[in-house]
Chain A
Amino acid sequence: MNYPFWPLEFAGGGLLIATIAIVHVYLAHFAIGGGLFLVITEIKGRRENNPAILDYVKLHARFFLLLTVVLGGLTGVGIWFTISVLNPAATSTLIHLFLFAWASEWLCFLGEIISIFIYYYAFDRLSPRDHLLVGWLYFAFAWLSLFFINGIIDFMLTPGDWLTTGSFWAAFFNPTFWPALFFRTFLALITTGLFGFVTAASLKDGKLRLNLLRYCALWLLLPFALFVASACWYRQVLPAGLTELIFQRMPEARDYFESFLIFSALLLPGGIGMAIHQPARISRVLAGIMLAVGLLNLGAFEFLRESGRRPFVIPGYMYANAIRPTDLERTTSIGVLRTARWVNFREITPADEKRSGREVYNLLCLACHSLGGPLNAIQDRLAGHTAEQVEQIIFEMGNLRPYMPPFAGNSQEREALLAYLGTLK
């Protein structure tokens, strides 16, 4: 209730942040595993004394640089910008709490940029020893970036003892920190194989192409069992209430979970298929399909993880609409319009009821429900419900519907909201 809001109607309901975040997270995983891929493949090329493989490493390094530094780096900045305008209160909490974790990650990002530029641009100039060292350093910086960001991301799912102690370390090494770190590390290796298919399939030399496609398939297939094991560990450490919410009480989460299982399972036969000899054109098409499967797999997982946070943005501390549980008593008695700093209406009059209801909607609902957009549109949720049923849903929020925050306004505001929702049908 502290900050102004940006009335993002069609692209609301998480569409904007989901689009940017999924693209970024996919590229970020590639940026981590891809660093290891570059050095290991370079070692392979040197051991086999095969200049064609070294040429491939250079080609892949260029593709890697263009994709991860530009699009990967800037979508990362984009996530930060987006969350800061969609939920400034939560962003401020995260930035204040994790300031030096972000700052440490920034240092790693600096190291990543310098080392990957040197790795690519000095490819033919440095001694093999120095060049490989630069590559190893890049990988170390990239993995450390994951280490720092992982602590923050998983805090947003399981804040653990931070809720009672307020300690940075309790927040950072939260209950899901370690399984998530392993899970994402193995996912990064799998993702690397998927991106490797793209550059390997583009090679003209058929023998080299098959050799490298099989090599990339190993990057996908070898860590797969460990990826599955770490996913099980991840699920096991989730608090019981959270597991119940995700896997039993939230219908959309079940869809995301099933999608994640299906796309994960598709990776295995896809990886084996890529290793089978086939014409170049087929390999290229299959590489594109596999890349899309990887993106959908990651997208399903991230949607699932995000669902687990509902109705909170920081579990136990702040709801998705930036209301804190500790504020509820005040907002439900005084009214959310009188509590918020940035509103046009503080008093509800019969003439302004619908417009005031819209303001209540902006404050309490817009964070999750778009207006006519493709993601979680309020019109879809209202379809087929009478006004009485909608009112009943509002009463059930936070109890029978645990994935929604309790309605944080007073009775007059509830009436105004219902009047506004009535105009949307």
Chain B
Amino acid sequence: MEIASLIPAPDALPVHWLWLQLLLTLTTFLHLVAMNLMLGSGIIALVTPYRLDGEIVALRRDIARTLPFTIALTINLGVAPLLFIQVLFGQFFYTSSVLMASLWLTLVGLLIVGYYAAYMFTMRYKALGKSQLWLGIAVLFLALVGFIFTNNLSLMQQPASWSAWFANRSGWLINLSDTALLPRYLHFLTSAVAIGGLGVAFYYEMRKRRGDNSGEKWRRRGCNWFSYANIVNFPIGFWFLGFIPASAYDGSTWSGRLFILLLAATFIGIAKAIIAAQRCFVIPTTCWALATIFFMTLARDLLRFDYLRDYFSPAALPVQAQYSPLLLFLLLAAVMGWLIVWLLKAAGRTEVNR
């Protein structure tokens, strides 16, 4: 069977594809930061004891307070890249979603249960005591959601795997033919622990700057979580790299050279971040870590183009340009940004409301 004949005809883009790629990259970056923070802090809370030396551990309690918000933010920030990917790569993404439709819709159920479990953990924190049930459910289900996403993106960028549908239409396809599937997932899972640790350090750093030194121990531990998880992630990252197509880092092509450059920037960024974290310089660590995530997002986008190189060229997509809706969106984004800044500033003010 000729694989290319299975690929659906794409719909026309409403604007030049570079706009869509730009928005996809930016929103994916934001989503990845939020997702890492959410899942990583959840995992850290799960392995942190309820009491230590006779006292209730503040770290676990503080993560419990923030978890509903980080979950909501992660879901919201996941909507935008999902939207842009469906426009730019719709013919691949819809197909892979149908191939794993049962699994794909299970994701929604997992998110609902995981989210409510996080609320149970938060709202009944004291009553639950040492019980890990609700937090365990939340973390497990959110981690499973990550796997389902990884599987969809893997299926999407490997049309050669699609022929499995002809023997199995149940919608439960897992792309086991992709040798990079497992290391890719583990790489993101370990990154989540690292960024979760950094989030912990950042939270207590902010409190310290406001004069509250009670979380100093957790600030340091957060930095350690970040460093050690990243060190563990190095071999996993090489494992992942070992299974991506060689053409992705072919130095004779411009995209291969760019990919190598981005990988180098990633290595430098993460090394700088680890060094800063070891000294517990939280702000520089955060800056380097964010830069690294951004480079990795770009590398990931480039890798997707490489996977699809035999079937896809964004410049060849049909375009029926209508730019006025884009302008409306950009204008609304500016207004919304201003309002969100006001909201966050307002939330920081402490007065009495009664």
A contact residues vs B (CB 8 Å cutoff): 2-8, 16, 51, 54, 66, 69-71, 73-75, 77-78, 81-82, 84-85, 88-89, 91-93, 95-97, 99-104, 106-111, 113-115, 117-118, 121-128, 130-131, 133-134, 137, 166-169, 341-342, 344
Contacts and interface: CB of A to CB of B under 8 A. Distances in A.
Contacts of B347: 118, 121-122, 126
A137 B23 CA distance: 25
Contacts of A169: 324
B72 to A, nearest CB: 5
B343 A341 contact: no
Contacts of A70: 112, 115-116, 119
B169 interface: yes
Contacts of A3: 8, 94-95, 98
A121 B107 CA distance: 28
- Residue picked from A82, A85, A109, A167, most chain B C-beta under 10 Å: A85
B346 A88 contact: no
Interface of B: 5-9, 11-14, 23, 68-69, 72-73, 75-77, 79-80, 83-84, 86-87, 90-91, 94-95, 97-99, 101-102, 104-105, 107-108, 111-112, 115-116, 119, 162, 165-166, 169, 171, 320, 322, 324-326, 328-329, 332-333, 336, 339-340, 343-344, 346-347, 349-354
Nearest to A45: B354
A133 B342 CA distance: 11
Contacts of B80: 103, 106
Nearest to A42: B353
A177 B329 CA distance: 20
B105 A78 contact: yes
Q: Is the interface of A mostly helix, strand, loop or mixed?
A: helix
Nearest to B345: A130
Contact of B353 (A82, A85, A107, A125): A125
Nearest to A3: B8
A6 B169 contact: yes
A23 to B, nearest CB: 11
13 contacts: A4-B99, A16-B105, A66-B119, A69-B72, A73-B72, A74-B111, A81-B104, A81-B108, A99-B83, A100-B326, A113-B73, A122-B353, A131-B353
A2 B105 CA distance: 21
A81 B152 CA distance: 12
A26 B354 CA distance: 33
Contacts of A66: 116, 119
Contacts of B76: 73, 106, 109-110, 113
A158 B72 CA distance: 34
A131 to B, nearest CB: 6
